[in-house]
Structure 1
Amino acid sequence: MIRERVSFILKLYGLIDVSVVACSFGAAYLIRSWFAEVAYVPRLMHFSEYFPLLGAILPIWLSLLYFNKMYASHRGKSYWPFLWTVVKTNVEGICVLSVLFFILKLHVFNRSLIMLFVLLCIVCLTGEKILLFKCLQYVRKQGRNIKRVLLIGTDPKVQVLIKHINQHPETGFVIAGLLSEAPEDIGRNVYGYKVLGTADMLYQVLHTEIIDEVVFTTPIFALHRIKRSLEVCELMGINGRIFLDTCDDASHFKMFIDSMIDIPLLSFSYREKQFFSLGIKRLMDIAIAGTLLLILSPLLAILAGLIKRESSGLAIFKQIRSGLNGRKFVMYKFRTMVDGAEALRNQLLTQNQSSGPIFKMEDDPRITPLGKYLRRTSLDELPQLWNVLKGDMSLVGPRPLPLVESAQITGRERRRLAMKPGITGMWQCNGRSHSSYHHLITMDLEYVDNWSLLLDMKLLIKTIPVVIQCIGAM
């Protein structure tokens, strides 16, 4: 009976979507025809001539909605993912139509009509999905279309789950009761709900109670203990879920299901579902670094010549630094110190003016007169554009530290290595050399934990006045 009802509802959803797509096409035809009356653009053929096109569009769009999992359950989820599905479906649909037009050599259908249809279809399907989403929420708040949930476990994190469920009645989840590990809890009320039995009594409870979902609150290190219980859920055709509370131990991690060589994995990552944004970041790095290197090549040649003229040694200073996840790479800078300055570092450690492992010193005797100017104007950093082009660095990111300094950074502070190092970043825009070690690390971690393309753009723009005014340079 339940399967028949679900099948009927899915068919109804499909019929509504087909109707919306057809109406969007009709509306696009009317608007395009009206536009032809008021502007000097070609008129459309009679609407009946477009029936073959509409006959192709409807099954294509319906199939794409199905394959993009539009008809999967969205109970308890945000509507943003399936709004993206609407956009994705229409983009894929127009690609399929383009291929069909090319293969069948069809050129009679008006392109402006098709593009107008796609735009209207996105708007109309989006409106329909939001309206349907809100209607279902309202129905569930009235106590209909509910799912009775059995919670297994009575430890404090069960209370967190109960609180979330009770705060969102629009999801239609209703707690039917709990199962405990302790037999003495049977019959008692825990967190406001009755303990129906022990975890070992799951089979009997599912026989006597109306249960739609079973949620296990087992610690992640003890998942092997619920294998038998999951088999009971499978045997009786009841959904089994596992509540994994990682907020205390990994608050910055995002948890998701992934696969490696077709093996399903439960993954924890900072960068989950940000691969597209990271790809855009890399393209920006290549485009901007490549363009600047090309434009600034005369200036780079002049500065290299001046450095060679002022003191002996190579114009470019090379140093091995720590990059993404601890990868070692050679970083390039214009030399601002006398040749062999690294060998003199240990003699000046007592005059270090920075806390922690980072070495900073005003009026460093190793710095040449031209080097002071290059540092103050940040011109010494320009060769790092080659590091960005190679992929060792990014335009924006945590500052790459020398290996001797990076090796002394331990514990949670090592999280700064989770992003590629950058030429500029949070601390360069907020004090630069005047920042303390603790402040530097805090800003690097803030960048890693809150990274976005928008943040990169803000920091790039903020870097310009900081460099021009020579703020905090040493």
Structure 2
Amino acid sequence: MTNRHRSALLTLLQLADLAVVAAAFLAAVALATPGDDDWLTILEMRVQVRNVLIVGGYLAFCHFVFQGFQLYRSYRLSPSSREWHDLAWAVLTATVPLWAFGDLWHFRFASHTFLPTFAALAFCGLGAERRLLRLVARSMRRHGRDLRHVIVIGSGPPAFDMVARLARRGDLGYHVIEMIELDARGDGSGAGSAAVLGRVETVAASQPIDEVFVALPLDSAQPLIRALVSLCEERGITVRLVSNLVDLILARAQLDEVDGRAVITLFTGPPDSFGLLGKRLLDLSLSLVACLLLLPLFLVVAIAIKLDSRGPILFAQERVGLGGRRFRLYKFRTMIAGADRLQAELEALNEAHGPVFKIRNDPRVTRVGRWLRHLSLDELPQMLNVLMGDMSLVGPRPLPLRDVQRIDKRAHKRRFSVKPGLTCLWQVNGREPQFESWVKTDMEYIDNWSLGLDVKILLKTIPAVLSGRGAY
């Protein structure tokens, strides 16, 4: 795609954003208007030169705010959560003047009703618009439109891996024009460096090149990388440095800046963001509502447990949560009293693979307990753990201290980089008994976390629980 086409699309996006903001503004005005005012009255009152100038000036202000939050940069390689995060802060910032200067303008709709309504409508409208544009762009790229022409420079597996990844992700719209492979050392030293620079110049002169991916060791290949950056800067070509930290298994990598020096931030779990606040609010609201609605069921289960066997109604056990912190997890008791003391005698019957302990026909489980486990009703008291902040509704299942102490692979411990959950991807996918598969789904959840993924898992939990698949 040419720069002229990109400029035209960017202008259309900016105009679309302003149209959505204007529509959200008018809709919020209508919703904040007292019930005795009809639309004709609203139009007669608002279509005034002063109001038109105020709204026009406000739209211009919104445009500068959106520019300031860099909403018009390329999100081609960014997760959608990053765009939603930036959008939320931009809308919040754009709403502040309406609250601050509402009285000064004598604008009667800058009220407690209007402001949250406008902010919500603007955020949802802009989010839906950008989501639609992202889907359209991905479809175009799969059909050979909106492509970025790139050169990949590197040596060995890192370079070939980068080419394979770009080819596999056709929705990103990267078309590899050429891969320039270096010598075995891969540091671009000596004559190899001049040859690489010459080849880049030749290819860039023969056809438009948008980006150059450099898959070289950042320590030994610094002279070549500096020369490449300088060459690409002269031609307006974007340079992307591919990290050679291939052995790190991390959820997120983010580029920050400290006084002009680039800093790569590596997160072991989802970075703190607006989305995590939404996750906590979702946990609190749904858990509180569930506790109130399920209170009669709690009473029935409690009575059944007491009638079936001696012992307490609730079972409390020390588990390991976020950052290795220990907490007391609550469940409905499904085993005979003192079952923990008998576990050592049953170690030989363990059917689970890896450090966890599970027996399908555990002799310690009571009659009511077996029924509770089949329907996962024994997990419901963990709503209290969610309300207390030790757990989340969705996250890797919390392991007992005994199991955690037997985890020997450092990578497996990354599951403690997020709060443990009442349900998880492993549970809704059938509860594979292999611990490696279990951890793999946990890592998949951590690496791809979003609020939307949490909602998706919660919805899948209902049929998974009703089927009882893998529960014992």
Higher mean displacement: 203-212 or 348-357? 203-212
List aligned pairs for 1:196-211, cutoff 5 A: 197-199=191-193
Question: Aligned pair 1:223/2:218, yes or no?
Answer: yes
Q: 1:383 to 1:259 in 2, by over 3 A?
A: farther
For residue 397 of structure 2, give the secondary structure of its aligned residue in structure 1.
coil
For residue 218 of structure 2, give the secondary structure of its aligned residue in structure 1.
helix
Q: 1:381 to 1:231 in 2, by over 3 A?
A: closer
Q: 1:259 to 1:206 in 2, by over 3 A?
A: closer
Q: 5+ unaligned residues in a row in structure 1: which ranges?
A: 1-5, 187-194
Does the 8 Å contact 1:22/1:54 carry over to 2?
Answer: no
1:224 alignment partner AA: D
The separation in 2 between residues aligned to 1:362 and 1:159, in whole angstroms, is: 49
Aligned to 1:461: 462
Question: Aligned pair 1:400/2:398, yes or no?
Answer: yes
Q: 1:200 to 1:118 in 2, by over 3 A?
A: same
Higher mean displacement: 404-413 or 246-255? 246-255
- TM (normalized to structure 1)? 0.64
List aligned pairs for 1:49-448, cutoff 5 A: 49-70=50-71, 72=73, 74=74, 92-107=93-108, 152-155=153-156, 157-158=158-159, 164=166, 178=180, 180=182, 197-199=191-193, 215=212, 217-219=214-216, 222-229=217-224, 231-232=226-227, 238=234, 241-244=239-242, 253-258=251-256, 265-269=263-267, 272=270, 275-296=273-294, 300=298, 313-324=311-322, 326-356=324-354, 357-362=356-361, 364=363, 366-376=364-374, 378-411=376-409, 413-414=412-413, 416-426=415-425, 428-429=427-428, 437-438=433-434, 441-443=436-438, 445-446=440-441, 448=443
Q: Aligned-pair distance for 1:319? A: 1.6
Higher mean displacement: 172-181 or 380-389? 172-181
Structure with bigger gyration radius: 1
List aligned pairs for 1:37-48, cutoff 5 A: 41-42=41-42, 43-44=44-45, 48=49
1:255-300 deviation line (CA, Å, top 9, x unaligned): 3324799985324447557844443333222222233334555665
Q: Aligned-pair distance for 1:53? A: 1.5
Aligned to 2:34: none
Q: Aligned-pair distance for 1:142? A: 12
1:332-373 deviation line (CA, Å, top 9, x unaligned): 223333332222222233344545442315261x34455445
Q: 1:458 to 1:418 in 2, by over 3 A?
A: farther
The separation in 1 between residues aligned to 2:84 and 2:380, in whole angstroms, is: 43
1:189-242 deviation line (CA, Å, top 9, x unaligned): xxxxxx9953268899999997888846354xx412244445556777546734
2:382 alignment partner AA: Q
Does the 8 Å contact 1:324/1:420 carry over to 2?
Answer: yes
Does the 8 Å contact 1:86/1:126 carry over to 2?
Answer: no
For residue 101 of structure 2, give the secondary structure of its aligned residue in structure 1.
helix
Q: 1:179 to 1:11 in 2, by over 3 A?
A: same
Does the 8 Å contact 1:197/1:205 carry over to 2?
Answer: no
Q: Aligned-pair distance for 1:101? A: 2.0
Q: 1:385 to 1:367 in 2, by over 3 A?
A: same
The separation in 2 between residues aligned to 1:19 and 1:303, in whole angstroms, is: 55
1:199 alignment partner AA: S
Q: 1:203 to 1:296 in 2, by over 3 A?
A: closer
Aligned to 1:189: none
- Percentage of pairs with the same residue: 24
1:102-122 deviation line (CA, Å, top 9, x unaligned): 34433399999x97x979x96
For residue 318 of structure 1, give the secondary structure of its aligned residue in structure 2.
strand
List aligned pairs for 1:3-14, cutoff 5 A: none
Q: 1:376 to 1:444 in 2, by over 3 A?
A: same
Does the 8 Å contact 1:358/1:437 carry over to 2?
Answer: no
The separation in 2 between residues aligned to 1:441 and 1:182, in whole angstroms, is: 35
Does the 8 Å contact 1:252/1:449 carry over to 2?
Answer: no
The separation in 1 between residues aligned to 2:263 and 2:366, in whole angstroms, is: 55
Q: Which structure would you say has the larger RCO, counting Cα contacts within 8 Å and 6 or more residues apart?
A: 2
1:320-340 deviation line (CA, Å, top 9, x unaligned): 223345433221223333332
Q: 1:427 to 1:56 in 2, by over 3 A?
A: closer
The separation in 1 between residues aligned to 2:51 and 2:337, in whole angstroms, is: 77
Does the 8 Å contact 2:322/2:419 carry over to 1?
Answer: yes
Q: Aligned-pair distance for 1:389? A: 1.6
Q: Aligned-pair distance for 1:380? A: 3.3
- TM (normalized to structure 2)? 0.64
The separation in 1 between residues aligned to 2:371 and 2:225, in whole angstroms, is: 68
Q: Aligned-pair distance for 1:60? A: 0.8
